[in-house]
Structure 1
């Protein structure tokens, strides 16, 4: 694994916008960054990223099966009691998942360390599945990459295959996200394109356009039934909505399913560590007050049970807070995770995002930042494989 300096394609901005990648720049700074790329060996990908991703995903599913039968664990994860039955039912009937992203610390020299599972509303999907593959093809054709360079990336094909499997022929397939959020809008548009290639007839809308008709069915703005809904909107927010009481009987199958509220919860980190202490890919993690029997390590990371894009994550020591990211999740319960900073390459902190579609590890995306906490503005840097 190494970071290689490269010359960007002269027309990458116009290409991005022609393909609908309008969030290539955020807050005046580049989000997509092809001034460099990360090179990996095939062994690093297969043994250190792909295999641990699938192994940890299996452990996570085992944990879901345990949590859905335990009021104690549901309570410990701060999952609202009114959600318990729907979550248990969605697991019992194997309601299908589409995708998720596991975040890892990895520098090419040891076991990848699992930071967290973005299992409900992960983004950076489009730039992983489409735009970095386009970059690989074009830079290879121009001779800018080593001959035979490849990429760990069958995300696009896997999404289409999975949507073909879980989509309901003859029924509607809607996709929704928050209003005025370009990255989320780009993600659901990309998934809508994949759904169309899977033979579905997708429709997109904003979450505030989702309604209920007189019969209690979820409908869109044209009063058409919402049979399946991919929602880029966290389950913990949905349970606070006025329509939450209609979830069980509103006639809609949600993707991601309700049981994903367990996997997207940072509380799975101490639960996994408790059940698999010493696992080479896991970091020590504890619920508040449980850390090492009361003896905290020298430095740790505090994470809210529910948060997105690094919000409200803090790095702490016995002397106090070293650094933190502001956000809207500061009032909820938190967990503590052992300190394991992302590696630095040429002064850039690097985080691996490993994509799971269904139960299969299929692709990787890399984010960089000048700080140790990866945020929604952290740069996306492409990668390639070459021996």
Structure 2
């Protein structure tokens, strides 16, 4: 694994906007998509990341099964509201399929990849990983390969849902260009799979006392929501979703995996696993450096790197009301002053490819840049 300087394509902005529909390459005046560097991997390193990702997904599915089996004891430790428990168990027992997820991994090419966290419910950076970096590879490194079968696997996964001719609605909050771009991309893959689809903003979904409706009063029987379950379950809108009146993607059982308390439960279930870092809901479990993460945090907010009581680094935010999980500190590798995190994607619970986010800080945030990769 190495970081290489690269020459950005002179017309890349116009190209990705016009030809790919990539509208959020720049955020708040700063580059998000960055072609001035790339990461090179060996085939063996990619194979190791793929194998680790499949192992981690298997562990996560095993954890869901154990949590559902234990019931109240485990669900309370995850801080999941009681009124969501029945929906979680029901969706798991009937085998509701999941679409996708992203494991954030620490990897330096010298040791096994280590799980930092799992974005199991509403992961973004998908379009840039699946499409934009593949387009970059074809023009800049056409004789190399990329760990990236995300697009084709998404189309295949949609076909495997068995949704028939029922319309699938794709929703995201109206004022987020990144969320809207991700939902639009997933809708495109569903269209390519032959499904009937429609976009709708979360704010425009109606409820008539029995059914969810679109703006034309058509029933929403199937809903893909790029809106977190942990927010939904505390809203009237989400309480209706928990009744099962609408099929929801991702399924309710993903709530077990979409909060960071699951890191502690994973470690308890598989202590010493080569792809896990020690984690606990008890801060006294660690003597050295730790990372404190909010159980329902997002985009690197409210993360602290601690050494005992001393705070070495932290990020701002509004999360943490439900509590925190502590994870053994494993500093990200540093390449020329930049700290990369590998986002390793699963589609239909199978490893599908990766994208890389990097920052000048060891805490990855929503402003961290996306850097493309290749392997040979």
> 1-side partners of 2:282 and 2:362: how far apart?
22
Contact between 2:33 and 2:369, CA under 8 Å: does it hold in 1? Answer: yes
Question: CA 1:188/1:6 → structure 2, altered by over 3 Å: closer, same or farther?
Answer: same
Q: For residue 164 of structure 2, what is the aligned residue in structure 1? A: 169
Deviations 1:349-381 (A, max 9, x none): 010000000121010000000101111110000
Q: For residue 349 of structure 2, what is the aligned residue in structure 1? A: 359
Work out which of the residue numbers 201, 206, 210 in structure 1 matches 2:205: 210
Q: For residue 326 of structure 1, what is the aligned residue in structure 2? A: 316
> 1-side partners of 2:165 and 2:85: how far apart?
31
Task: Give runs of aligned pairs for residues 13-28 of structure 1, distance below 5 A.
Answer: 13-18=13-18, 19-28=20-29
Deviations 1:118-163 (A, max 9, x none): 000000000000000000001135xxxxxx3100000000001001
1:340 aligned onto 2:330: yes
> 2-side partners of 1:371 and 1:192: how far apart?
34
TM-score by length of 2: 0.97
Which has the larger displacement, 152-161 or 329-338?
329-338
Q: For residue 60 of structure 2, what is the aligned residue in structure 1? A: 60
Q: For residue 222 of structure 2, what is the aligned residue in structure 1? A: 228
Equivalenced residues, count: 374
Contact between 1:368 and 1:380, CA under 8 Å: does it hold in 2? Answer: yes
1:90 aligned onto 2:91: yes
Unaligned runs of 5+ in 2: none
Q: For residue 146 of structure 2, what is the aligned residue in structure 1? A: 151
Q: For residue 10 of structure 1, what is the aligned residue in structure 2? A: 10
> 2-side partners of 1:353 and 1:320: how far apart?
29
Q: For residue 183 of structure 1, what is the aligned residue in structure 2? A: 178
SS of the residue aligned with 1:208?
helix
Unaligned runs of 5+ in 1: 142-147
Task: Give runs of aligned pairs for residues 226-375 of structure 1, distance below 5 A.
Answer: 226-249=220-243, 251-289=245-283, 291-292=284-285, 296-375=286-365
State the shift of 1:320 in Å.
2.4
SS of the residue aligned with 1:345?
coil
> 2-side partners of 1:44 and 1:254: how far apart?
36
State the shift of 1:167 in Å.
4.9
Contact between 1:217 and 1:249, CA under 8 Å: does it hold in 2? Answer: no
Contact between 2:232 and 2:239, CA under 8 Å: does it hold in 1? Answer: no
Contact between 2:63 and 2:269, CA under 8 Å: does it hold in 1? Answer: no
State the shift of 1:319 in Å.
3.5
Contact between 1:300 and 1:337, CA under 8 Å: does it hold in 2? Answer: yes
Question: CA 1:108/1:25 → structure 2, altered by over 3 Å: closer, same or farther?
Answer: same
> 1-side partners of 2:316 and 2:214: how far apart?
34
Contact between 1:172 and 1:225, CA under 8 Å: does it hold in 2? Answer: no
1:99 aligned onto 2:100: yes
> 1-side partners of 2:320 and 2:349: how far apart?
32
Q: For residue 145 of structure 1, what is the aligned residue in structure 2? A: none
Contact between 2:57 and 2:349, CA under 8 Å: does it hold in 1? Answer: yes
Deviations 1:234-274 (A, max 9, x none): 00100111223322446211100000011111111111111
TM-score by length of 1: 0.94
Work out which of the residue numbers 348, 367, 375 in structure 2 matches 1:377: 367
> 2-side partners of 1:98 and 1:362: how far apart?
12
State the shift of 1:330 in Å.
2.7
> 1-side partners of 2:115 and 2:306: how far apart?
19
> 1-side partners of 2:282 and 2:29: how far apart?
38
Q: For residue 114 of structure 1, what is the aligned residue in structure 2? A: 115
Task: Give runs of aligned pairs for residues 41-60 of structure 1, distance below 5 A.
Answer: 41-47=42-48, 49-60=49-60
Q: Please provide the CA RMSD for this pair.
A: 1.2
Which has the larger displacement, 129-138 or 66-75?
66-75
